[in-house]
A and B are shown apart, each in its own frame.
Chain A
Amino acid sequence: MASLMSSLNAPSAAEYAGDEVSAIVLDPGYSTVRAGFAGEDVPKSVVPTYYGGLEPPGGATQVLYGENAIHNPIPHLHIKNPMSQDGIVEDWDAAWKLWEYSLTSRLLGAKPTPAIRNGLNDPVDGDVMDVDMEELDDLEKPLVDNPLLMTEPAWNPVKWREKSLEAAMEEWGTPGFYLQRSGVLAAFSAGKPTALVIDIGASQLSVSPVVDGMILKKSVRKSPLAGNWISQQIRLMFAQSQPPVPLTPHYMVTSKVPVDAGAPSNATYKKYEIPPTDSFRRLEEERVLTEFKESVVTTWYHEFGRLSTSSQGMTNEERAKAAPGARPFEMPDGWNQIFQVERFKVIEGMFDHEGAYTDAENRAPKLEHTIPNLIIASLNSVDVDTRPALLANVVLVGGSTLITHLHERVKRELEAAYPNVRVRLHAPGNPVERKFASWIGGSILASLGTFHQMWISRKEYEEHGAGLVEKRCK
């Protein structure tokens, strides 16, 4: 009798070939850092990549990590991000500290002080025992017991790859280390060894073809049209609407009263002696924008094509104006408005470079940066025999893909571009699986019995040095 799949009974080892060695999977991103034990289905520790630098004039600087610390409107709190807009590390030391925080805060906990140090065993007569203190230091490192699997974007420079291995070994003392591309892991999370992974994160939109668990490096295409860009579009839309939409973050409002749609807000604002920094304000505005993205923004995916095209004597934009389902949105200070065509337009630039909001500073995106063109460019550089397999396994992941109907639009664009090929789009319905796809893939990979031969062990690292990562993590 076939037993039903449930979380209560574990699958047999032969079925999933699993062998958990309490490995840790670390998936750093631009917006959040995901960390957790391999074999679990969601990361236990999700920490924002934004961190706070408390720099009071004349005082000691202090670094604050974690969701609770960085949203506190205290003076002189500068919000920073160690990642660059490319999605790769910019400030290595800060990033490494942040990642360490993500591991130690939730996963590993405090280590007991070794018996030799806790003072209970101190010799009465003060004789110094001959103990290898260096070895003790090693034991105190956070990851001595846990192999570490890290993810990286496909365009991660060699320098950072080697540095990751070095730091994981030297600073964290991990017995085994492996670096895997997040595209491959996203494909694994969908259960596919061959897939075309479209990953729309906060800073980067990337298209990576994966064949048999190997990423095709030359065919990876990326563009900045991702979550942050959408936020920028919303800001532009707010600024360009008549009258401009005021964007007030939560921390500034004490109380509000309901007002009519479009009417100026009637709220009492908080007074700060020393107002929080601009970077803090920007972070808080970003939270409002995220809310806006989640509740209002949607993709034009109807059969009439893009928003700019017209058919039957009517442009799609007019059609969108008449379409039902206008969404109201209320700002933290009570200002509210109904958004109709704008909610389609802020995302349209991802597909149609001419449909984006622009101003003097923010140019229209390039044609080759739009999703359809990225995919076509990526596929065109792949061997023609592999293309149908890739198109039959398109995997759509990343937090920004959670925008309503985005996957339908992507599918429609793909079908328009390849009318003769069967296109199958896999976009997990569960938001967690979409947001943390590459972490989940890493969790699957690092819990496989067959994977344990892949780890770069400490011994190997000591023998060959950091250059080994290029040879082993292909």
Chain B
Amino acid sequence: MASRKDVQDIMGLSGAAPANPPPTLKKPKTATGKRTAGIAREVLALHGDRPPPVAVIDVNKTYKGRPSRAYKLSNRWRMTPFTNQARTDGLVLKHWAKIPASKVLEDSENITMEDVSETKIEEQPRYEWAKCNVQVEIPQYTDEEYETYLRSDDWSREETDYLLQAIKEYHQRWPVIYDRYDFKPSALVGSGSDDMTLVPTSPRKERSIEDMKARYYNIQAKAMAIKTPITNMNPAEFALYENLTKYNPVSEASRKKLANNLMSRSLDEAKEEEFLLNELQRIAVYNHKFETERAEIRARLEAPSSTGTAMQFQSSQALHQLFTQLFHADRSRKRGSRLSVQAGMDAGMPTPATVGQTPVTAGSHRDSIGGTSQKKSGVPGSATSQTAQTPVRTISPRSETRFGITTHDRLTSGVTFRTDRVLKLRQAKSAAQTQKIATALAELKVPDIIVLPTTTVCESLERLVGQVSKLLDVRKVREKEEGELAVARARAGINTDNTQAEKSSTEKKAEVEDIAKGTDAEADANSDGDAHGDEDDDGDVDGDGDAGADVDEEDEAEEDEADGDAEDEKPLKDEMDGDVARARSSSNLASGPLPENSAVNTARGGHKRSASVLSATSTKSSKRTRK
């Protein structure tokens, strides 16, 4: 066979340096990188470069040779003497210990006949288990410390020492301490056997665990306090100190008594208790079920009733209306209702946004945004909407105010500023009215710009403005009626009998007007107040002459009420804006001695009566006019 070299010779080429050595064929590396055993090369080649579809397990079938024996020295064990550092007497015991291989070799070179027991207790490492020798710390005290702090009538010094020793000895295991506690006063021990008369210095007492604990904890607490004054204790120390001082042997003893009773119940009693507990649970479950069922029934009853016949829903618009009604009622009841929004969409019904605008809604949304949920509108169905909107966690009204939680029946979309609202409040329908309100507010020293219009401030202002406008209305009516009265008087001539009464009534009116002008307080224009006033009518009509006195009395009553309220409304008071408060305080009249902050309360609830007085007087005068 001719090799490349032969060919080169024939061709006359120098074999030293072939110009272009043929590129060496590089074997394509398999993806796995190493040759897989256990599979034929040809079969493997069929896959090409890609890894085999099935993981090929490399089974090493090679014959395992004999285990190679590494020649090394094994560890030797030797009976070694040792001492235990936890002992004080240096007792030497022997145990088997491992001797490192290096040492064995060393030892085997100088073989001696020496007895193993005579080997030195060589530089011993610390005995492994000596660290487990833990002692409890008991409080230490000197004689004078004992005399000053720890003296007890019940415990002698000797017995205290004995107790502390026992605690140390038995590692604070109270059952054991109690079991082994056997204090014999030395006076008894010493003289008892010889003299017939026992010295009754400190008679032996049966100590209960509680007694011992109380004594020990007391000592420990005092020792702690002596060591570190209470003010310098760190939290852990103080917690311990507190625990120690809190120990009450009497309650502890009664607790144990109770535990004992509980333990020694008979089987019947235990069974009865179990039975009763089961019964209680059953009742609770039943109650819960009953309540939910009831709530469901109630909800169902409040659904719109079908009073008319089906005939009225013949038109598509009537149907639409019915659906809207049902849909809204359902939606306000709970989420995940039967009539879903999806259903509404499918039926081509208005979206919830439009539903809100339809006149037939389950709840009335007359309350303003600032209005709290407590305001009840007398429209049926508001109860449902309220229950639906009650947050899961019920919060008391007081804490609601404290945390500033308000519940709204409806929220308008978008952002509004309370300053806007405050400004808007000052606007009335007519310019004259606006002017009058502004004058009244200026008189009350309410500034034009309220610096911090909080919810409460807004509410108060809203009420105030409402009251002012109401009063303005009242004044208008009065002026009108006075005019009419003057006309009527001029026409009919003056009746002498009536003069006196009229005079007093005018005085009264003037007074009332003063009140109305001077205070926001008097001007409660609540709907409740109105109703109240109407009721009062009948009673007040007869006693014309007494009316003035009535007013005074009522003022006093209001003061009291306001005082009472002031206690309750502290958090509210705090929120009051300074300006408004100032405005209120300036308006001191009949209720002069009222504390500043209670002005709010006066505005809130205290002055229904005065409003009623107002309305009463006005009606009186109108009646007289009619006469």
Q: A420 to chain B: which residues have CB within 8 Å?
A: 262-263, 265, 270
**Looking at the complex, which one of B93, B96, B129, B130 makes contact with A175 (CB distance below 8 Å)?**
B93
Bound state CA distance, A175 and B91, in angstroms?
A: 8
- Which chain B residue lies CB-closest to A382? B175
Bound state CA distance, A91 and B58, in angstroms?
A: 78
Quick check: A452 and B129 within 8 Å, CB to CB?
yes
Quick check: A383 and B89 within 8 Å, CB to CB?
no
Is A211 interfacial (CB 8 A cutoff)?
yes
- Which chain B residue lies CB-closest to A381? B179
- Per the 8 Å Cβ criterion, residues 99-146 of B in contact with A are 127-130, 132-133
- Which chain A residue lies CB-closest to B117? A145
Q: B270 to chain A: which residues have CB within 8 Å?
A: 419-420
Is A384 interfacial (CB 8 A cutoff)?
yes
Q: How far is the CB of A202 from chain B (nearest CB, A)?
A: 27
- Which chain A residue lies CB-closest to B132? A450
Bound state CA distance, A302 and B180, in angstroms?
A: 40
Quick check: A211 and B173 within 8 Å, CB to CB?
yes
Give the 3 A-B CB pairs with smallest separation, nearest first: A449-B129, A453-B86, A457-B91
Q: A217 to chain B: which residues have CB within 8 Å?
A: 179-180
Bound state CA distance, A241 and B171, in angstroms?
A: 57
Is B259 interfacial (CB 8 A cutoff)?
yes
**Looking at the complex, which one of A17, A19, A388, A460 makes contact with B89 (CB distance below 8 Å)?**
A460
Q: B174 to chain A: which residues have CB within 8 Å?
A: 383
Bound state CA distance, A212 and B175, in angstroms?
A: 10
Quick check: A214 and B173 within 8 Å, CB to CB?
yes
A450-B133, A459-B91 given. 16 additional CB < 8 A pairs?
Answer: A20-B96, A21-B93, A21-B95, A176-B91, A212-B173, A214-B170, A382-B175, A385-B259, A419-B267, A419-B270, A420-B262, A420-B265, A449-B128, A450-B132, A452-B84, A453-B87
Is B472 interfacial (CB 8 A cutoff)?
no
Quick check: B209 and A457 within 8 Å, CB to CB?
no
**Looking at the complex, which one of A176, A218, A458 makes contact with B179 (CB distance below 8 Å)?**
A218
Is A102 interfacial (CB 8 A cutoff)?
no
Quick check: B129 and A211 within 8 Å, CB to CB?
no
Is A159 interfacial (CB 8 A cutoff)?
no
Bound state CA distance, A15 and B302, in angstroms?
A: 73
Q: B169 to chain A: which residues have CB within 8 Å?
A: 474
Q: B176 to chain A: which residues have CB within 8 Å?
A: 211-212, 214, 216
Is A438 interfacial (CB 8 A cutoff)?
no
Is B216 interfacial (CB 8 A cutoff)?
no
Quick check: A386 and B132 within 8 Å, CB to CB?
no
Is B266 interfacial (CB 8 A cutoff)?
yes
Is A409 interfacial (CB 8 A cutoff)?
no
Bound state CA distance, A176 and B83, in angstroms?
A: 13
Q: B133 to chain A: which residues have CB within 8 Å?
A: 450, 453
Q: B263 to chain A: which residues have CB within 8 Å?
A: 384, 387-388, 418, 420-421
Quick check: B129 and A19 within 8 Å, CB to CB?
yes
Beyond A176-B91, A460-B89, is A384–B130 a contact (Cβ under 8 Å)? no
Bound state CA distance, A112 and B175, in angstroms?
A: 50
- Which chain B residue lies CB-closest to A418? B263
- Which chain B residue lies CB-closest to A194? B175
Bound state CA distance, A176 and B89, in angstroms?
A: 11
Q: B251 to chain A: which residues have CB within 8 Å?
A: none
Q: A384 to chain B: which residues have CB within 8 Å?
A: 256, 259-260, 263
Q: A383 to chain B: which residues have CB within 8 Å?
A: 174-175, 178, 209, 256
One digit per residue, 1 when the CB lies within 8 angstroms of any chain B CB and 0 when it does not, for chain A 81-105 equals: 0000000000000000000000000
Is B90 interfacial (CB 8 A cutoff)?
yes
Q: B173 to chain A: which residues have CB within 8 Å?
A: 211-212, 214
Bound state CA distance, A355 and B253, in angstroms?
A: 39
Quick check: B93 and A452 within 8 Å, CB to CB?
yes
Name 5 A/B residue pairs within 8 A (Cβ), A-sorted: A21-B93, A175-B92, A211-B176, A384-B256, A453-B133
Quick check: A20 and B132 within 8 Å, CB to CB?
no
- Which chain B residue lies CB-closest to A220? B179
Quick check: B94 and A21 within 8 Å, CB to CB?
yes
- Per the 8 Å Cβ criterion, residues 133-167 of B in contact with A are 133
Q: B171 to chain A: which residues have CB within 8 Å?
A: 212
Quick check: A22 and B256 within 8 Å, CB to CB?
no
Quick check: B128 and A19 within 8 Å, CB to CB?
yes
- Which chain A residue lies CB-closest to B93? A21
Is A323 interfacial (CB 8 A cutoff)?
no
**Looking at the complex, which one of B95, B178, B256, B267 makes contact with A20 (CB distance below 8 Å)?**
B95
Q: How far is the CB of B253 from chain A (nearest CB, A)?
A: 10
One digit per residue, 1 when the CB lies within 8 angstroms of any chain A CB and 0 when it does not, for chain B 174-203 equals: 111011100000000000000000000000
Q: How far is the CB of B89 from chain A (nearest CB, A)?
A: 5
**Looking at the complex, which one of B90, B93, B127, B128 makes contact with A459 (CB distance below 8 Å)?**
B90
Quick check: B96 and A453 within 8 Å, CB to CB?
no
Is A339 interfacial (CB 8 A cutoff)?
no
A binding-site residues for B, Cβ under 8 Å: 13, 17, 19-22, 145, 147, 175-176, 211-212, 214, 216-219, 382-388, 416, 418-421, 448-450, 452-453, 455, 457-460, 474
One digit per residue, 1 when the CB lies within 8 angstroms of any chain A CB and 0 when it does not, for chain B 211-241 equals: 0000000000000000000000000000000
Beyond A145-B94, A418-B263, A421-B263, is A219–B179 a contact (Cβ under 8 Å)? yes
Q: B170 to chain A: which residues have CB within 8 Å?
A: 214, 474
Bound state CA distance, A66 and B209, in angstroms?
A: 49
Bound state CA distance, A460 and B89, in angstroms?
A: 7
Beyond A383-B209, A420-B263, is A19–B95 a contact (Cβ under 8 Å)? yes
Quick check: A459 and B89 within 8 Å, CB to CB?
yes
Q: A418 to chain B: which residues have CB within 8 Å?
A: 263
Bound state CA distance, A450 and B92, in angstroms?
A: 15
Bound state CA distance, A383 and B175, in angstroms?
A: 6
Q: A457 to chain B: which residues have CB within 8 Å?
A: 87, 89, 91
Bound state CA distance, A214 and B89, in angstroms?
A: 24
- Which chain B residue lies CB-closest to A218? B179
- Which chain A residue lies CB-closest to B128? A449
Bound state CA distance, A147 and B81, in angstroms?
A: 13
Q: How far is the CB of A40 from chain B (nearest CB, A)?
A: 14
Q: B256 to chain A: which residues have CB within 8 Å?
A: 383-385
Q: A459 to chain B: which residues have CB within 8 Å?
A: 89-91
Beyond A19-B95, A20-B96, A384-B259, is A211–B132 a contact (Cβ under 8 Å)? no
- Which chain A residue lies CB-closest to B83? A452
Bound state CA distance, A348 and B180, in angstroms?
A: 35
Quick check: A176 and B180 within 8 Å, CB to CB?
no
Q: B127 to chain A: which residues have CB within 8 Å?
A: 449, 452
Q: A449 to chain B: which residues have CB within 8 Å?
A: 127-129, 132
Bound state CA distance, A421 and B128, in angstroms?
A: 41
Q: B96 to chain A: which residues have CB within 8 Å?
A: 20
Q: B91 to chain A: which residues have CB within 8 Å?
A: 175-176, 452, 455, 457-459
Bound state CA distance, A21 and B171, in angstroms?
A: 27
Beyond A420-B263, A420-B265, A450-B132, is A386–B84 a contact (Cβ under 8 Å)? no
Q: A214 to chain B: which residues have CB within 8 Å?
A: 170, 173, 176, 179
Bound state CA distance, A386 and B174, in angstroms?
A: 10
Bound state CA distance, A386 and B260, in angstroms?
A: 11
Q: A419 to chain B: which residues have CB within 8 Å?
A: 265-267, 270
Quick check: A453 and B84 within 8 Å, CB to CB?
yes
Bound state CA distance, A17 and B132, in angstroms?
A: 10
Bound state CA distance, A416 and B265, in angstroms?
A: 11
**Looking at the complex, which one of A145, A175, A474 makes contact with B180 (CB distance below 8 Å)?**
A474
- Which chain A residue lies CB-closest to B252? A385
- Which chain A residue lies CB-closest to B210? A383
Quick check: A176 and B93 within 8 Å, CB to CB?
yes
Bound state CA distance, A91 and B133, in angstroms?
A: 39
Q: A387 to chain B: which residues have CB within 8 Å?
A: 263
Q: How far is the CB of A363 from chain B (nearest CB, A)?
A: 30
Quick check: B128 and A211 within 8 Å, CB to CB?
no
Q: A175 to chain B: which residues have CB within 8 Å?
A: 91-93
Q: How far is the CB of B451 from chain A (nearest CB, A)?
A: 65
**Looking at the complex, which one of A147, A219, A448 makes contact with B93 (CB distance below 8 Å)?**
A147
Q: How far is the CB of A25 from chain B (nearest CB, A)?
A: 15
Bound state CA distance, A458 and B93, in angstroms?
A: 12
Quick check: A17 and B129 within 8 Å, CB to CB?
yes
Q: How far is the CB of B127 from chain A (nearest CB, A)?
A: 8
